[in-house]
Copies of this chain bind each other. A is one copy, B any other.
Amino acid sequence: MFSKTKSVPIIIGTSVAFAFVGASIWIFKQLSPADKDLSTSHKLVNDDLAIKNTEVEEKEPSRHIRNRLDNLVRRKFFYCNSAEIYGGIAGVLDYGPIGCEIKENIISLFRKHFIQKEKMVQVECAALTPEKVLVESGHVEKFCDLMVKDKTQYKKVETTKDQGEYKKFNLLFSTYVGPDPTCQTKAYLRPETAQGIFLNFARLYDYVHRQLPFAAVQIGPAYRNEISPRNGLLRAREFLLAEIQHFYDPQEGCHKCFSTVAGLSIPLLPAQAQMEKKDAKNIKLGDAVADHIISNQHLAYFIGKIYQFLLMVGVDQKKIRFRQHLPNEMAFYAQDCWDAECHTSYGWIECVGCADRSTYDLTRHSEATGADMRADRKLSEAKIKEITLAPVSSAIIQKYGKEAAKALIKELKKHEKIIAEKIEKEDQVELPVNGTNFTITSKMVKVKKCTKRVEEEKFVPAVIEPSFGVGRIMYVLLEHNFKIREGSSDRTFFSFPPMVAPYKCCVLPIRKDPEIMNMVGRICEDLEAENITFTTDASAASIGRRYARQDELGVPFILTVDDITLRKPHSVTLRDRDSMLQYRVPVSNVVNILNDLTSGKVKWATARSKYSKNKFWEILRGWWPF
């Protein structure tokens, strides 16, 4: 929230820092302010831009910081414009090594928090989608944005109020499949991953042994031909989605785990409050459902889970809100929708949509294909079915021909009860099929009255869809975790939670000496065996500069192998990125400590007390360099 709230960098007491001064040369160097590697970032800013930045800084500190952030992430290859050397395409991006690691860590936490804990099933469907699918889903007709021509370029607009002359633009990318130019199949690149799950509903329902509720998940790329792609990761034309479809019985409003989130107090901004120009208000999810602010427990449950997830990956708690869509901004498939929005220097950004798609999609696809997309509901009281209708195929075919009869019989079955009652009363009934009215007489159907106990009935499940824009979440993490060291405005770092950080630690040799490098190799092997990701930096740069390089990537811990390391029992210094504090720990135990610190089991702040109980820090006291 750079533009509205003052950024709160982590404040490191200089008194603590100075405690290190006497320790050794390299600890001193850590504090040296100028740093060649860091100054590169200034060189990349040309003079014009530098002047602009100063101007901007006075008026809008947030933009100045954003420029530094942008500069850093491109310089360190978190991501960049795709095919940049050819000029690229707006809104199409490539992730570099650091970006890939962060993205994979976000996804890995998503898997743990949602797929594993909630026992969801995963699918991976193709992005190439036959035209028919998206015609029936409504996307070919309705997945459009409004645009106006602004001088030479088209520009996206939110409503027709903005200007008089506007045009509807469909965001689907199309292509043609097959080698024969006379009969190629038109296909689209999927604009969302959801359709793949809907189309496979029957298989998935079988896979989970025909039990509701269940949730299916898909993580994969989606494509939208945005009118005005902009702001790097925030509005891209190719982007990674992680989507959950939670299928449930719409008559069953309770979610069995709702109690685990009911007490969460979350900033909610309902549609009504927006129309009354009110701000978001913290409300407990349990109260929000009881007061009909959120329509049911299923929707509220996922709002709670999304909130927990965003905090876990490192979104600033003070910069999240859940905003309900206004009736006029709802997607065509949604009945209700709450967006998890995060505040950035661009304002509030939608990062996760949580839509109630009700029975819309399954019904559309079932009607279009005849595929059964219903679930079974056990009835608590058996129902008595009284009337049935048996079409007399021969009579119908004789009157209307084979082709029409097929459609008619299907339609008759659908409205069995109503038609049977009408036939009984009026001897005939008009039935519209594909726009034509057909007369069905009592000769064409047999009405049977029977009594039959029915203990199960079929119904179309409803769907809650949390949909995560992974790139947007990543961008928010970059902004919310970008910090400037107090008293050293040249030095920036990312305060990512260890589980999201691109590497968990870095192993530094104090110098490139065979004995020291040997110990570095040994520690790296231990880290590898425990699957703790790490980097090394054996360059000739000063230790302080090497620390700063890792800070710029958000690496939370640094191990330094120095001369004391070579003495028995072997030990290394362990440096914490955020506090810059260092402790000396035994080599034999350092991997366990890092495992605890980086898996989220233990926080740095509590590590010392935890380990002192284990007589751990006591062993070390003797090694403390002062």
Contacts and interface: CB of A to CB of B under 8 A. Distances in A.
Contacts of A121: 97
Contacts of A125: 82, 94-95
Copies of this subunit: 2
Given A147-B179, A179-B225, A185-B89, A94 B123 contact: yes
A93 B207 contact: no
Interface string A80-95: 1011111111101111
A602 to B, nearest CB: 15
Contact of A127 (B116, B154, B207, B221): B221
A175 interface: yes
A239 B371 CA distance: 27
B177 A175 contact: no
B203 A126 contact: no
A235 to B, nearest CB: 13
Given A83-B130, A86-B130, A207 B77 contact: yes
A128 B101 CA distance: 22
Nearest to A535: B119
Contacts of A539: 209
A274 to B, nearest CB: 29
A595 interface: no
A331 to B, nearest CB: 19
Interface string A55-80: 00000000000000000000001001
Nearest to A104: B122
A437 interface: no
B80 A223 contact: no
A126 B127 CA distance: 13
Given A124-B103, A237-B128, A177 B89 contact: yes
Interface in A217-276: 221, 223, 225, 227, 237-238
Interface in A91-133: 92-97, 99-101, 103, 116, 121-130, 132-133
Contacts of A96: 123, 200, 203-204, 207
Contact of A100 (B83, B123, B154, B209): B123
Contacts of A147: 179
A375 B95 CA distance: 22
Interface in A125-148: 125-130, 132-133, 136, 147
Contact of A89 (B84, B128, B154): B128
Nearest to A216: B97
A28 interface: no
Contacts of A200: 77, 80, 94, 96
Contacts of A154: 179-180
Contacts of A88: 130
A1 B571 CA distance: 55
A364 to B, nearest CB: 12
Contacts of A93: 126
A449 B169 CA distance: 63
Interface in A156-206: 169, 173-180, 185, 187, 189, 196, 199-200, 203-204, 206
A87 B336 CA distance: 32
Nearest to A202: B85
A337 B204 CA distance: 41
B203 A80 contact: yes
Interface in A399-443: none
Q: Which of A122, A178, A179, A187 has the most CB of B within 10 A?
A: A179
A528 interface: yes
Contacts of A368: 86
A380 interface: no
A123 B99 CA distance: 8
A153 interface: yes
Q: Which of A99, A122, A132, A154 has the most CB of B within 10 A?
A: A122
Interface of A: 77, 80, 82-90, 92-97, 99-101, 103, 116, 121-130, 132-133, 136, 147, 153-154, 169, 173-180, 185, 187, 189, 196, 199-200, 203-204, 206-207, 209, 221, 223, 225, 227, 237-238, 365, 368-369, 371, 528, 539
20 contacts: A77-B207, A82-B199, A83-B129, A86-B133, A86-B136, A86-B199, A89-B128, A89-B187, A90-B178, A95-B124, A99-B124, A100-B123, A116-B528, A128-B237, A128-B238, A154-B179, A174-B175, A175-B189, A178-B225, A179-B225
